[in-house]
């Protein structure tokens, strides 16, 4: 840090981006192209790490999450962005700026903060689900439905949206079973819908997933029966990774559709704390990778506009002072 002409401690950078996924990297590229000094703090634990590929990302369909991140990092660096590998623990006001502490004890200051830390999937407490998560256990039909064609698939009901999820996956899967498990009892209308779409219903609690040679072989019920399946679908409770935001007084709130908890913001990602923006899954639980990237770009343009407004106010103040202090006989 350095001191400016007003003896104020100058920040290390214009913007600190916390989180190095699609949203954070796109934000950093956008800010770099706007000639803003930017640092990205990333823990290296992306939500989609277990997935074999990213889909519906134009020109990058099927790319591995690691490769997409690697390319993104190169692009950030090409515009002068820097990276800190670590976890941002807390953030706080430091005069007009923000101070971010990292888990290794380091600290960095910035004029603005962008938080793109994503979310955590809280999975059903069924043995085998976490072990196969991202491989034979899925949640999004648009992300994985194409690859499930021709496979025997089960939907594990764990909430009121179980029937909706089963009807969605039926678009991609013909051999589909809905395990009611802990979902509510079916209404007469739901029973009719499922029957009409050829979706078999299994009533009863699930004991565990049967794994053979590292892959799903079936779903074991509490009564001991095993229903052969090659893949299953779950509905995780999605919770924003909001620890660093909590230190700023921002709390996650329940999602209106019951999907989990997210951080509220305006259409450009601005939170209730001035100078702090969010983008990606931390603010939009259902956003895909390309949607998270788009949100990162939008939020970054808002951050830059806010900085331009501040730069202009400061320049006007200096200009007024300089013109006021010029001696009349010198004009």
Strands 119-122 and 237-240: antiparallel
The pLDDT of residue 9: 66
What pLDDT does residue 285 have?
Answer: 96
What DSSP string describes 210-272? EEETTEEEEEEETTS-EEE-SEEE--PEEEE--HHHHTTT---EE-TTSSEEE----TT-B-S
Residue stretches of the chain with pLDDT short of 70: 1-9, 325-331
CATH fold match for the domains 2-121+237-324 and 124-233: yes
Per-residue pLDDT at 1: 46
- pLDDT at residue 246, rounded to an integer: 96
Where in the chain are the domains? 2-121+237-324, 124-233
Contact 46, 96 (CB under 8 A): no
Do 14 and 37 meet the contact criterion of CB atoms below 8 Å apart? Answer: yes
Sequence-ordered list of residues with C-beta below 8 angstroms from that of 155, at least 6 positions apart, any chain: 162, 165, 166, 169, 176, 177, 178, 179, 232, 233
Can you give the pLDDT at residue 5?
Answer: 42
Is residue 61 within 8 A of residue 55, CB to CB? The reply is yes
| Distance of alpha carbon 279 from alpha carbon 284, whole angstroms | 8
Note the CATH number of domain 2-121+237-324.
3.50.50.60
Residue 198 is predicted with a pLDDT of: 98
pLDDT digits (tens, 9 = 90+) for 236-276: 999 999 999 999 999 999 999 999 999 999 999 999 999 99
CA distance 237 to 258: 8
CATH for the 124-233 domain, from 3.40.50.620, 3.50.50.60, 3.30.460.10, 3.30.413.10: 3.50.50.60
């Amino acid at each position: 840090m350095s001191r400016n002409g007003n003896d104020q401690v100058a920040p290390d950078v214009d913007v600190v981006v916390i989180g190095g996924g699609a949203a954070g990297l796109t934000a950093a590229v956008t800010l770099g192209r706007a000639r803003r000094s930017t640092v990205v703090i990333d823990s290296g634990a992306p939500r989609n790490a277990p997935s074999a590929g990213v889909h519906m990302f134009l020109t990058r369909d099927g790319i591995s999450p690691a490769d997409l991140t690697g390319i993104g990092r190169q692009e950030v660096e090409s515009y002068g962005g820097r990276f800190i590998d670590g976890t941002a623990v807390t953030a706080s006001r430091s005069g007009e700026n923000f101070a971010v502490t990292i888990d290794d004890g380091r600290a960095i200051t910035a004029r603005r903060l962008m938080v793109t830390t994503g979310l955590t999937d809280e999975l059903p407490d069924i043995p085998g689900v976490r072990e196969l998560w991202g491989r034979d256990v899925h949640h999004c039909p648009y992300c994985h439905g194409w690859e499930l064609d021709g496979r025997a698939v089960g939907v594990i009901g764990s909430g009121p949206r179980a029937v909706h999820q089963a009807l969605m996956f039926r678009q991609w899967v013909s051999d589909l079973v809905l395990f009611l498990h802990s979902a509510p009892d079916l209404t007469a209308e739901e029973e009719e819908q499922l029957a009409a779409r050829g979706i078999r219903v299994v009533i009863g609690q699930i004991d565990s997933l049967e794994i053979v040679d590292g892959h799903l072989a079936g779903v074991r019920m509490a009564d001991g029966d095993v229903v052969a399946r090659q893949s299953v679908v779950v509905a995780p409770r999605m919770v924003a990774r909001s620890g660093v935001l909590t230190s700023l007084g921002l709390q996650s709130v329940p999602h209106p559709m019951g999907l989990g908890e997210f951080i509220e913001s305006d259409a450009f990602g601005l939170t209730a704390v001035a100078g702090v923006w969010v983008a990606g899954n931390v603010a939009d639980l259902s956003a895909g990778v390309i949607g998270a990237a788009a949100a990162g770009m939008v939020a970054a343009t808002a951050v830059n506009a806010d900085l331009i407004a501040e730069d202009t106010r400061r320049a006007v103040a200096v200009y007024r002072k300089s013109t006021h202090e010029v001696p009349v006989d010198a004009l």
